[in-house]
Amino acid sequence: MTATTVHQPTHREALWELEDAFERGDLITIFGRCTVEYDGRAASSLDPGRRLLILKPDGTALVHTDENQKPVNWQPPGSEHHAAVRDGRLRVRSVRSSPDETLDVRFETVEQLSAMAVSGRRDLSVTGSEADLRNALLDRPALIEPGFEPLATERPTDAGPIDLFGRDSDGRPVVVELKRRRVGPSAASQLQRYVAAIEREEGDAAAVRGILVAPSVTDRARRLLAEHGLEFVAVEPPSDGSVAVSTATDNDADVVDDDTDDDTAASSTAESAGEGSN
């Protein structure tokens, strides 16, 4: 048996199980009615309610409710989990330093406590990152502009590292900022900041070009780019490592449907089951 579970344990029984699970380095889930207090970089308080607490052997603590992807309260990896019975409650406290932070979960009742041996996240491979976009553009620099010659990636400047630096066919320095998704004002500012840094370096103002390469751009960002004489090149979002230019805002994505449901099946829709939020 690789997963041990106790139902409606006494607080003392729960504490014993916690001790053993801490010792084994298990991932622990506790479900019950609890309050949550956090104090550290900010501070928060949560009234009694039924929630799921997850304790990881790396020091992570997560308090989840029935909605949202993010835990309602948490503690980062590297924290220390402590458990005790105080005032008739099971108290789980997760603490870390620098910064000093404490998460306090106090259970009135523990409905269930489980401990299980979980394996790490080996062999996760992701595609479609900004790095993939960069590599695709290094393979075919003409996608940015005919004659563009890449010289460096992550080129350091006084304002931070430039995604892609090179020269155009006229020999002018070109700062390229890559984004894997639609960009807003902050990306325009970022590019402008790098261009200004290179201009300061080169000492030859107004000769440095800046190109923002992304799937698309908001109106406001486009205006900000124009105000600073910066350019925009649209590329399809990186899917399988390849990229394509798109002259305007015309998107045509081929979707392959590989669904073949012909067996017993269950399904849950946010609208059909449970009380939908919003």
Partner DNA sequence: GCCTAGGTCCCGTAG
Partner DNA sequence: CTACGGGGCCTAGGC
The three-state secondary structure class of 209 is strand
Q: Distance between CA 150 and CA 173 in Å, rounded?
A: 10
Residues 6+ apart with CB under 8 A from 195: 175, 208, 209, 210, 228, 230
Out of a copy of itself, DNA, none, what residue 182 binds, judged by CB under 5 to 8 A for its kind, is DNA
CB atoms within 10 A of CB 200: 13
Using rule CB under 7 A, residue 186 touches DNA: yes
Quote the least distance from Cβ 121 to DNA, whole Å: 8
Out of DNA, a copy of itself, none, what residue 209 binds, judged by CB under 5 to 8 A for its kind, is none
Among 43, 138, 151, 226, binds a copy of itself (CB under 8 A): 43
Exposure string (b/e) for 124-150, b if CB count within 10 Å is 16 or more? eeeeeeeebbbebbeeebebbbeebeb
Using rule CB under 8 A, residue 246 touches a copy of itself: no
Out of DNA, a copy of itself, none, what residue 51 binds, judged by CB under 5 to 8 A for its kind, is a copy of itself
Out of DNA, a copy of itself, none, what residue 163 binds, judged by CB under 5 to 8 A for its kind, is DNA
Sign of CA dihedral 65, 68, 71, 73: negative
Q: Which is nearer to DNA, 109 or 135 (CB)?
A: 135
- Give the pair of three-digit tokens for residue 92: 């789980």
Sign of CA dihedral 257, 262, 263, 269: positive
Among 41, 146, 205, 249, binds a copy of itself (CB under 8 A): 41
Q: Which is nearer to a copy of itself, 121 or 248 (CB)?
A: 121
Residues 6+ apart with CB under 8 A from 185: 218, 220, 221, 224
Over the window 18 to 57, marking each residue x when it contacts DNA by CB under 7 A and - when it does not, the resulting string is --------------------x-xxx-x-------------
Region 122-151 residues binding a copy of itself, contact defined as CB under 8 A: 122-129
Q: What is the residue type of 38?
A: Y
Half-sphere exposure of 27 (CA within 13 A, CB side): 11
Using rule CB under 8 A, residue 65 touches a copy of itself: yes
Q: Which is nearer to DNA, 15 or 178 (CB)?
A: 178
| DSSP classification of residue 236 | P
Quote the least distance from Cβ 272 to a copy of itself, whole Å: 8
The three-state secondary structure class of 58 is coil
Quote the least distance from Cβ 90 to DNA, whole Å: 19
Are 112 and 6 contacting, i.e. CB atoms less than 8 angstroms apart?
yes
Using rule CB under 7 A, residue 255 touches DNA: no
Using rule CB under 8 A, residue 158 touches a copy of itself: yes
Residues that bind DNA (CB under 7 A): 38, 40-42, 44, 68-70, 73-77, 97-98, 101, 103, 126, 128-131, 159-161, 163, 177, 179-182, 184-186, 190, 218-221
